[in-house]
Chains A and B, each alone.
Chain A
Amino acid sequence: MPRPGAFLVVDDSKLHHQMYNLIFTRGSLIGSTVHHAFNGREGYSLFVTHPELTMVFLDLNMPEMNGLEFLERRRAEQLHPQIPIVMVTTEGSADDEARGRAAGAWDYLRKPFTPPDVERLVEHALARAAAPS
């Protein structure tokens, strides 16, 4: 079962931040800490200072450093490689998903998603972290 954790949401949509808040303040994820960033640059600063993150949810299209640039910079700097970064995509962006994976994204989450989708992803990430590598 998933448990509460620390999450970073990087998305330029206020609406999406509120959706994540809903997801992380109910059910099995209740009690999680959520850090919010509204563009890639802001998100990267938070990413740098929070090595304890359980997972990052990263939107692709954002002003001031988009999701792909975020991923590329993180790979170049070898920063917190243990933190899984999930790209948030929409249908019809398979090419972005492929590019993101290549740039070091752990998985992707396609819109529209539901709270159980996010819970499942978190569960996978935690199971992976717990497994001996």
Chain B
Amino acid sequence: MGADENAFAALIQDYVAECLPPAEAVADAFVALERKWEAGDPAEEILGQLKGTLHTIKGNSAMMGLTPIQALAHALEDLHGLLTRVPDLRIQAAPLLVEGGGLLVQMVRGAASGLATAEAVDPYLEEVRRFQADSAQPTSNRSESGPSLEEVDRRRAERRASDRSGGEAMDTVRVEARRLDALLEIFGETMIAHSALAEVRQRLIAEVRGAPALEDLDRSVVQLEKSLRHLERALMETRLFPIASVFGRFGRLLRDVAHSEGKRVRLETAGGETRLDKTIIDRLGEPLIHLVTNAVIHGIEPAAERERQGKPAEACVTLSAAPRSDRVIVTVHDDGRGLDPDRILAKARALGMTVTPTSAEEIFSLAFLSGLSTAERVSSLSGRGVGLDVVANAIRALGGSVAVASTAGQGTTFTLTLPLTVVVVRALIVTVGGERYAVPLHDVAETIRIVPESIHEIDGRSMLLWRGELIPVSDAAALVGRGNSGETARRYCVVVQSSAKRHGLLVDRLLGRQDIVAKPLDPSLGRPPIVSGATILGDGRVACILDTARLAEPLLFAAALGAKTVTAGGLA
């Protein structure tokens, strides 16, 4: 974090306001240059105007201590100088310029949020260095015939490959984020229209069996579905950003919090290149801020205490990310004192929790209950003391889940499991009491046909013997607040799992798999805790999405149900 000790850090918004327009002008000019050069126009006048602008951006960034942007502007100045002197290199270098312009805009725009990190510009700087080194060598093919087309293609391909592996997707087109959001919205509508079409097809098949036109319709619907899937993948690809842009903010934050707490803490990050949907990246910052702040304030011991325990005086908070199949795992680890299970349990009991946890892990999961983790001591940075329930809710709203593990004296690890994308949720559609619900397929281990005798009452809990294991089951109707009647009539059990825990969800019917587009619910609707959102099905009806991952945290869920008045009816 370059701005750490900078005297002018308070002016960061003014910096962005002043430098963003020239940065955008530079980016636009680079795009124009590429076009003109390819058309054979040297466009010297555009080139000439850029020198001063780049120099100003560089100077201002240096003043603000934004070293990565300073370095980037410097590299672009160098490249600009080289191309002014050696026109032969221009066409070959144009994509590199365009990429740099886009990066410059992104860095300046993100400077206030701490996104302008060395990690974000280094791959590009390396590319520029490579280009300069290559162009300094008198290679025979260039001096004979200018840049060969193969060379240009190779560079483009290399650049794309490096975009995928590390740097943010920066190609020759800059698109405003809101346009991508609009595309997503339209895609969602298209998906719903497709579901409607598929539904009509089903009805037609039942009503007018054997009509030749029906076969054509069938083919078209299948083709449409295939195209939509490609579109989804392409759309998703445009929305993926490295999580480094979020991690980048924490150096400064951690330092400030540690200072105010009088503690010594360093930040380590890993897996910053892991990519996630932009929406998730945007909304991940806040919960992570809470976790990191909490770690420093509550998790990490004062240096003296650490030394007494033989731990290094300087504590460490580690942020890491890694992809795991279609999910991304983000962890926040501190090497502090760990959670105190006795205290959590005492607090949970004080809040009226009656269930008895059987393992430390279950006790720790109680920390996510509302009101339980609120800071006892209000420091200037923790504000009102944000509870872990806020963190958990934010992560769930993204379709993810959060778990905590802790070892006394050794530290605490929060593990966030996030979907890669928010575009589409693969779901199992079920009916309960005549209403439809969507269960994310990711959580579904198995669906089984049951008879009333399959369910056993043990210690006042309904259990099901599944693959030699007794798992708790809940009637879906009760969870969504539609009363507990007719549990014995439910004919199917959806076994959901999260980490190593399983839970059965009793439903009436399974309607099949469907790709749904999740819509957030208005918080004023007072939804039951099990409902995470809603979607529109093919027939135009609204279905609530069940946050089944929560079922696998039985204590938490039981307590949450007990603590809140469950509103009946779900979505109106």
Question: A and B: partners?
Answer: yes
Q: Does B59 contact A (CB under 8 A)?
A: yes
A-contacting 9-mer, from B3-11, B188-196, B208-216, B488-496 = B3-11
Q: A114-B7, A115-B7 are in contact. Are A19 and B63 (CB under 8 A)?
A: yes
Q: Does A32 contact B (CB under 8 A)?
A: no
- CB neighbours (8 Å) of B59 from chain A are 90, 111-112
Q: Say how far B20's CB is from chain A's closest CB, in angstroms.
A: 12
B-contacting 9-mer, from A10-18, A39-47, A75-83 = A10-18
Q: Does A22 contact B (CB under 8 A)?
A: yes
Q: Say how far A30's CB is from chain B's closest CB, in angstroms.
A: 14
Please name the residue on chain A nearest to B16 by beta carbon: A15
0/1 interface trace, chain B 59-86, chain A, CB 8 Å (1 if under): 1101101000000000000000000000
- CB neighbours (8 Å) of B52 from chain A are 61
Q: A111, B14: Cβ atoms under 8 Å? A: no
- CB neighbours (8 Å) of B60 from chain A are 13, 15-16
Q: A112-B59, A112-B65, A113-B63 are in contact. Are A14 and B14 (CB under 8 A)?
A: yes
Once the chains are docked, how many angstroms separate the CA of A18 from the CA of B14?
8
Q: A111, B11: Cβ atoms under 8 Å? A: no
0/1 interface trace, chain B 528-545, chain A, CB 8 Å (1 if under): 000000000000000000
Q: A22, B62: Cβ atoms under 8 Å? A: no
Q: Does B364 contact A (CB under 8 A)?
A: no
Please name the residue on chain A nearest to B9 by beta carbon: A22
0/1 interface trace, chain A 57-101, chain B, CB 8 Å (1 if under): 000010000000000000000000000000000100000000000
Q: Which of B7, B10, B15, B62 contacts A111 (CB 8 A)?
A: B62
Q: Does B201 contact A (CB under 8 A)?
A: no
Once the chains are docked, how many angstroms separate the CA of A71 from the CA of B18?
27
Report how many residues on chain A are interfacial, defined by Cβ distance under 8 Å: 15
Once the chains are docked, how many angstroms separate the CA of A99 from the CA of B59?
20
Please name the residue on chain A nearest to B10 by beta carbon: A22
Q: Does B156 contact A (CB under 8 A)?
A: no
Q: Say how far A121's CB is from chain B's closest CB, in angstroms.
A: 15
- CB neighbours (8 Å) of B10 from chain A are 22
Once the chains are docked, how many angstroms separate the CA of A33 from the CA of B11?
20
Please name the residue on chain B nearest to A113 by beta carbon: B63
Q: Which of A22, A112, A115 contacts B11 (CB 8 A)?
A: A22
Please name the residue on chain B nearest to A12 by beta carbon: B56
Please name the residue on chain B nearest to A92 by beta carbon: B55
- CB neighbours (8 Å) of B19 from chain A are 15
- CB neighbours (8 Å) of A114 from chain B are 7
Please name the residue on chain B nearest to A26 by beta carbon: B7
0/1 interface trace, chain B 16-48, chain A, CB 8 Å (1 if under): 011100000000000000000000000000000
Q: Which of B7, B14, B58, B65 contacts A15 (CB 8 A)?
A: B14
Q: B15, A15: Cβ atoms under 8 Å? A: yes
Once the chains are docked, how many angstroms separate the CA of A19 from the CA of B62?
13
Q: A61-B52, A90-B58 are in contact. Are A111 and B18 (CB under 8 A)?
A: no
Once the chains are docked, how many angstroms separate the CA of A111 from the CA of B70?
12
Once the chains are docked, how many angstroms separate the CA of A55 from the CA of B59?
22
- CB neighbours (8 Å) of B62 from chain A are 90, 111-112
Q: A22, B18: Cβ atoms under 8 Å? A: no
Which residue numbers of B lie inside 8 Å of A, CB to CB?
7-8, 10-11, 14-15, 17-19, 52, 55-56, 58-60, 62-63, 65
Known: A22-B7, A112-B62. 10 other contacts (CB 8 A): A13-B56, A14-B14, A15-B18, A16-B60, A22-B10, A22-B11, A23-B7, A90-B59, A111-B63, A112-B65
